[in-house]
Structure 1
């Protein structure tokens, strides 16, 4: 055995204890951790011949890189719809690394960790009040979750045209209809060979909405003259957390032939709350659904889940099966995740979710959702009353989309946001909404309290003189 490896093996308990202590210190001080940094580091391109060993490498990391690590899992990091990590999910994530499984099959020899993934999927379906006729699987994030669902949708379109796209390649023009597709959806269309420009834009509803105008949708469907298409709808848009009208979309399904995909990356969790679950009424009839776990479920990156109706499992295996690997067996007789999603090599992403779901249950996630919405409304009330800012849209759930008051200040927004983020007390992201430059604050972190809102408000008001 290599000398450095042998020394670290003999010293493993001390190595892990040291990392545990550093991790605990980070988590205990996360409220004070800067939410952004101005540090820059020169990188090296020469590797040590014999290595430094674990402890010395940790020292090098701390001296060089540790100060770059921002409090993105803390209570005032409101950019990118970034969740935190619940204590139980950290437990599950650490064990995921220690056990180091390549999760694929629930039966057979070598690895049975897929049983955990299957159970976790069932628990998520229960949490989200979805029927059991969905097949679910864990992937890295919303991009690959959307990619997976739309990959199956692409195969469905091909079969409607009498073509096996998975075997013969994409041909013809696949029709996609959507009003406010997320950038990860557009990226997925590009990767799938459908084309990032091949999306028919549906009008948004009136009265400052991002949701689909159902009348315009129906008109555009009629223009297709019966041609099958893919409808991409939203359970929570990224700017204003707007929801499409799933009840009305259900009515359209009775009249027209289409694949219905719902991007519910973070908005899906609104169903956990009795106050907001009406927003998702009817979504259970979709063909596929995307959900991010490292957002409102508050588990560590990278974690997302997709749901595809079980009736489409043949299309799903046709899209993702390892057809040139006979040792994997018949994909329908010998279930393996390797034949139902893009990745062949995959860690046990379900375990942090399993831990968090079991630790906090339905009530825990109801509280997280409702607290986030309360914090968003509290922050939105400040924006609405302030002469310095204006809301770009109503606070519908957990996102606050706002700008500086007055068109004359549109060119100052970038500077203001840079200065605000440089306070290292709060972090938000820029956006554009209805052709106006703006700022978006997204509330999904389980740690966020009224005190955090007050800290952010104090910093924002202190910057008045910079406008």
Structure 2
């Protein structure tokens, strides 16, 4: 169920636990301006979730596995993950700090939360809102540039205002479209991944990064796509 389709009335009626895997959760941190209204609206309903999982490697530029889980039910989480009766795994019953051993499935793991904590601490809410905004602006500028290139088709919509940080497109010429990803990446200026839309090959550009220059980066993408279309 998309989070935008969830309401308090729906939750009360069905009395079910809701878990969201929130790829777009960062949209809730965008500046509250008309520019980002559609993206903020798409994440409406998350407040009704019992638990939310998310991955930070793209939006926050942290390493893979810097994920998170938010839950309303600490007791249920501990009940599922609590270790067995081994004496060396027991923790003090008077300790107010939840033991990591009893809140995740792994007993031993890298400190993957450290890069995430460092980013949150360094930039804060306002700094991250500006970061997310720059990513969206670059993605929308790329989408606009693609819309101006006659050889290309912007997917799945031509409404640039609905673009988040992912830009999907393909060449209108089906034969030339088949090798498009390779011709883009062979130029070694940007990296795009292949995907499909409605049974036909397509290209996916995911915007992520700290040093975004919308005008400069858009020009680079335009030059690459113009050459790849030849």
TM-score calculated relative to the size of structure 1: 0.43
In structure 2, C-alpha distance between the alignment counterparts of 1:361 and 1:464, rounded to whole Å: 41
Q: Which residue of 2 aligns with 1:398?
A: 165
Q: Say if 2:26 is the partner of 1:263.
A: no
1:445 to 1:331, Cα distance in 2 relative to 1, 3 A: farther
Q: Secondary structure at the match of 1:245?
A: helix
Q: Secondary structure at the match of 2:69?
A: strand
In structure 2, C-alpha distance between the alignment counterparts of 1:340 and 1:357, rounded to whole Å: 22
Q: Deviations over 1:137-172 (max 9, x none)?
A: xxxxxxxxxxxxxxxxxxxxxxxxxxxxxxxxxxxx
Q: Deviations over 1:343-386 (max 9, x none)?
A: 11122222222222222222211111111111111110111121
- Aligned-residue offset at 1:279: 3.1
Q: Which residue of 2 aligns with 1:381?
A: 144
In structure 2, C-alpha distance between the alignment counterparts of 1:399 and 1:447, rounded to whole Å: 17
Checking the alignment, whether the CA contact within 8 Å between 1:288 and 1:307 is kept in structure 2 is: yes
Q: Secondary structure at the match of 2:225?
A: helix
**Structure 2 residue runs without a partner (length 5+):** none
- Aligned-residue offset at 1:328: 3.1
In structure 2, C-alpha distance between the alignment counterparts of 1:386 and 1:432, rounded to whole Å: 20
Q: Deviations over 1:259-286 (max 9, x none)?
A: 2111113x11111112443432331220
Equivalent residues in 2 for 1:422-441, closer than 5 Å: 422-441=186-205
In structure 2, C-alpha distance between the alignment counterparts of 1:443 and 1:368, rounded to whole Å: 11
Checking the alignment, whether the CA contact within 8 Å between 1:321 and 1:331 is kept in structure 2 is: no
Q: Secondary structure at the match of 2:17?
A: strand
More relative contact order in 1 or in 2 (CA 8 Å, sep 6+)? Answer: 1
In structure 1, C-alpha distance between the alignment counterparts of 2:229 and 2:201, rounded to whole Å: 18
Checking the alignment, whether the CA contact within 8 Å between 2:142 and 2:218 is kept in structure 1 is: yes
In structure 2, C-alpha distance between the alignment counterparts of 1:345 and 1:405, rounded to whole Å: 50
- Aligned-residue offset at 1:332: 7.2
Q: Deviations over 1:214-251 (max 9, x none)?
A: xxxxxxxxxxxxxxxxxxx45xxxxxxxxx414x4433
What is the count of residue pairs matched by the alignment?
217
CA root-mean-square deviation: 2.2
Q: Which residue of 2 aligns with 1:463?
A: 228
Q: Say if 2:216 is the partner of 1:451.
A: yes
In structure 2, C-alpha distance between the alignment counterparts of 1:332 and 1:272, rounded to whole Å: 37
Q: Which residue of 2 aligns with 1:254?
A: 12
- Aligned-residue offset at 1:441: 0.9
Consecutive aligned runs of 4 or more in structure 1 exceeding 4 Å deviation: 330-334
TM-score calculated relative to the size of structure 2: 0.84
Larger radius of gyration: 1
- Aligned-residue offset at 1:255: 1.2
Q: Deviations over 1:169-212 (max 9, x none)?
A: xxxxxxxxxxxxxxxxxxxxxxxxxxxxxxxxxxxxxxxxxxxx
- Aligned-residue offset at 1:315: 2.4
In structure 2, C-alpha distance between the alignment counterparts of 1:400 and 1:419, rounded to whole Å: 17
Checking the alignment, whether the CA contact within 8 Å between 1:331 and 1:339 is kept in structure 2 is: no
Equivalent residues in 2 for 1:188-267, closer than 5 Å: 233-234=1-2, 244-246=3-5, 248-265=6-23, 267=24
Q: Secondary structure at the match of 2:88?
A: helix
In structure 1, C-alpha distance between the alignment counterparts of 2:140 and 2:92, rounded to whole Å: 48
